[in-house]
Amino acid sequence: MKVAVWDTYVTKKDGNVMHFDIIAPQEIRDPNIIYSYGKE
């Protein structure tokens, strides 16, 4: 399976910025779906 890495930055409630990557199947390109993975 090929994957895509989404480089993601989120501002936390305390104002600090958190950086993380979301790894998803390459076929999924809908940002709403990708970011829902990150929220989980």
R_g of the chain, CA atoms, integer Å: 11
For the four alpha carbons of 30, 34, 39 and 40, in that order, the dihedral sign comes to positive
- The domain spans of the chain are 3-39
pTM, whole model, 2 decimals? 0.71
Could you read off the pLDDT of 1-40 as tens digits, one per residue? 899 999 999 999 999 999 999 999 999 999 999 999 888 8
State phi, psi for 35 to the nearest 5 degrees. Answer: -70, -25
Token pair 């076929």 is found at 27
Check if the beta carbon of residue 5 is closer than 8 Å to that of residue 23.
yes
pLDDT at residue number 38: 86
Q: What is the DSSP string of 12-29?
A: -TTS-EEEEEEEEETT--
